Amino acid sequence: MKNLTIRAKITLWFITILAIILGLAYVAFYLSSENVSREIVRNELEETVTGDMDKIVYHPEEKNPESADGSIRIPYEEGMLEVDQEFLALINGIGVGLWSSDRKLIYGEDLIREESGGIPLVDSRTRTIPSGPDMFYVYDRKLEVKGVEGLWLRGSVDRDQRHEEVSVLFRSSLLLLPFLILLAAVGGYFITKRSLYPIRRLMEAAGNISTGSDLKQRIDAGEGENEVQQLTRSFNGMMQRLDEAFEAETQFTSDVSHELRTPMASILAQCELALEDENLSPEEARDALLVIQRQGDRMNELIGDMLMYTRIDRGQEMYPREPLDLTELVRETCEDFEMSCENQLELATDLDQNLMVTGSEPLLRRLLLNLLENAVRYSDGTPRIRAELTAEGRMLLLKVSDRGIGIPPEHLPKIFDRFYQADPSRTGEGTGLGLAMVKEIASAHGGSVSVASTPGEGSTFTVRLPKRSDTVQLPKLSS
Residues that bind ligand ADP (CB under 6 A): 370, 374-375, 377-378, 402, 404-407, 415, 420-423, 430-436, 459
Report in angstroms how near the CB of residue 387 gets to ligand ADP at its nearest.
Answer: 13
DSSP state of 468: P
Report in angstroms how near the CB of residue 241 gets to ligand ADP at its nearest.
Answer: 25
Nearer to ligand ADP, 23 or 456 (CB): 456
Nearer to ligand ADP, 126 or 374 (CB): 374
Asked whether the beta carbons of 448 and 441 are under 8 A apart, the reply is: no
Report in angstroms how near the CB of residue 385 gets to ligand ADP at its nearest.
Answer: 9
Report in angstroms how near the CB of residue 346 gets to ligand ADP at its nearest.
Answer: 15
Tell me the DSSP string of 405-450. Answer: ----GGGGGGTTSTT--S-GGGTTT--S-HHHHHHHHHHHTT-EEE
Burial status of residue 383 (CB atoms within 10 A of its CB: 0-12, 13-18, 19 or more): buried
Angle at 471 between CA 468 and CA 473, to 5 degrees: 145
Q: Which residues contact residue 253 at a Cβ distance below 8 angstroms, ignoring those fewer than 6 apart?
A: none
Separation CA 313–CA 319 (nearest Å)? 10
Nearer to ligand ADP, 108 or 406 (CB): 406
Q: What is the dihedral angle through the alpha carbons of 111, 114, 120, 121, rounded to the nearest 10 degrees? A: 30
Q: Which residues contact residue 81 at a Cβ distance below 8 angstroms, ignoring those fewer than 6 apart?
A: 56, 57, 58, 59, 73, 74, 75, 98, 106, 107, 145, 148, 151
Report in angstroms how near the CB of residue 405 gets to ligand ADP at its nearest.
Answer: 5
Report in angstroms how near the CB of residue 418 gets to ligand ADP at its nearest.
Answer: 8
Nearest residue to ligand ADP on Cβ basis = 430
Separation CA 336–CA 349 (nearest Å)? 13
Separation CA 196–CA 179 (nearest Å)? 26
Separation CA 53–CA 38 (nearest Å)? 23
Nearer to ligand ADP, 111 or 400 (CB): 400
Report in angstroms how near the CB of residue 429 gets to ligand ADP at its nearest.
Answer: 7
Provide the pairing of β-strand 384-392 with 346-353.
parallel
Nearer to ligand ADP, 152 or 461 (CB): 461
Nearer to ligand ADP, 89 or 389 (CB): 389
Q: Which residues contact residue 115 at a Cβ distance below 8 angstroms, ignoring those fewer than 6 apart?
A: 129, 130, 131
Nearer to ligand ADP, 209 or 389 (CB): 389
Nearer to ligand ADP, 188 or 434 (CB): 434
Report in angstroms how near the CB of residue 4 gets to ligand ADP at its nearest.
Answer: 57
